[in-house]
Structure 1
């Protein structure tokens, strides 16, 4: 028994002295002055430095606990720059979805709400279609059209939007010769979905109510 314990101790000592497993002899980061704690702290610091540029959305998860991946279009679609909305604009959003979607401030706020419902891809798809419609260069149109397809139309995409089969078939045909308006039917379908499904909940959300209250106005009736 003693020989076995002695042998185990010798093996442990040999492993700890191996060049690839040497740890610092002094402790700078651990209050308990334990060398093993210091080594793990340093490893943790190095790990976080290596992953400091990881896209924020990769850490988000959907309602089923699955990771949400950043799409190609979303990686370049930052929050739109805009001026602070006036009280009149904020209140007008409750009466008209079109007015909300026509202002950058309104879209930013609505996007924040959609993120809480794990349906941000609907607005991102709509924005990507708007961007495509303003493109004139044929080569760029083809590139953007394919990116939109891969990000929001493909059944393999984690951010696939909900479209009926008729619209999908039309998109597949248009991919043979992409044009700036090839996603208009799909865009309208998603716009209608956001208007009828998400917009009423947005008006009753704390996100919108807090903004209204900050203006000193009472929350509009919906």
Structure 2
């Protein structure tokens, strides 16, 4: 019973830290030096398709495929921009930003650049209290941080899969019901 209380207390403290970080981000002044070298959030939209990047609007058949799997959304530049905009409106854009950072990391061949990107991913997304800290379990976080000792293209795979599963389970269903998606599919 005591162990359960301690676990619950730790969970509450971690959530409180996350909320504090998010509020702290909102309270920062423009030009504050502490915001440098951090991935900037995607531009907020008014829920209007006009605010999306100037990607060619896909045909209805392709947009219909988005409803079958999150992968279909992410491989399409317009779909990715739309999903990113949706996550931003839900204040959960750290998930897609982390997933994209991992994809970029995997495509890096130069070991020096790979190390710099790995360090940035850890600072921006994995460290406790990071501005864009992703919600992954402690086992995954510890294993991923241990993987940093010997960098490979698969260093962040476990964490990336967990974040993808979270987006797929949580945000993707709401995205399909959202005005953003419904406007496009019409």
TM-score bucket (shorter structure): 0.7 to 0.9
- Whether the 8 Å contact between 1:101 and 1:107 is mirrored in structure 2 is yes
2:110 pairs with 1:152:
no
Post-superposition offset of 1:179: 2.3
Aligned length: 152
Asked if the contact 2:70–2:168 (Cα under 8 Å) also holds between the matched residues in 1, the reply is yes
Residue 57 of structure 2 is aligned with which of 78, 84, 109? 84
The structure whose residues are more often helix, as a share, is: 2
Instruction: Say if 1:81 and 1:104, in contact at 8 Å, map to a contact too.
Output: no
TM-score using structure 1 length: 0.61
| Alpha-carbon RMSD | 2.6
TM-score for both structures, normalised by structure 2: 0.73
Counterparts of 1:165 and 1:200 in 2: how far apart (Å)?
A: 26
1:114 maps onto 2:87 in alignment: yes
CA shift for structure 1 position 209: 1.1
Cα deviation per residue 1:50-70 (whole Å; 9 max; x = unaligned)? xxxxxxxxxxx99x7553476
Matching of residue 179 in structure 1 with residue 179 in structure 2: no
Cα distance in 2 between the residues matched to 1:186 and 1:81? 31
**Higher Cα Rg, which structure:** 1
**Cα offsets for 1:28-78 (capped at 9, x unmatched):** xxxxxxxxxxxxxxxxxxxxxxxxxxxxxxxxx99x755347684634989
Do 1:71 and 1:159's aligned partners in 2 also have CA atoms closer than 8 Å?
no
Q: Distance in 2 between matches of 1:112 and 1:170?
A: 31
**How many Å separate the matches in 2 of 1:121 and 1:146?**
17
Inter-partner Cα distance in structure 2 for 1:135 and 1:173: 20
| Structure 1 residue 112: Cα displacement | 0.3
Distance across 1 between alignment mates of 2:116 and 2:155: 13
* 1:70-219 matched pairs, under 5 angstroms: 72=37, 74-75=39-40, 82-213=55-186
Which sections of structure 2, spanning at least 5 residues, go unmatched?
1-18, 29-34, 44-51
Runs of 4+ more than 4 Å apart: 68-71, 76-81
Note the alpha carbon deviations across 1:127-153, whole angstroms, 9 max, x for none. 000001011110110000000000000
SS in 2 for 1:182: coil
Q: With a CA cutoff of 8 Å and minimum separation of 6, indicate the structure with the bigger relative contact order.
A: 2
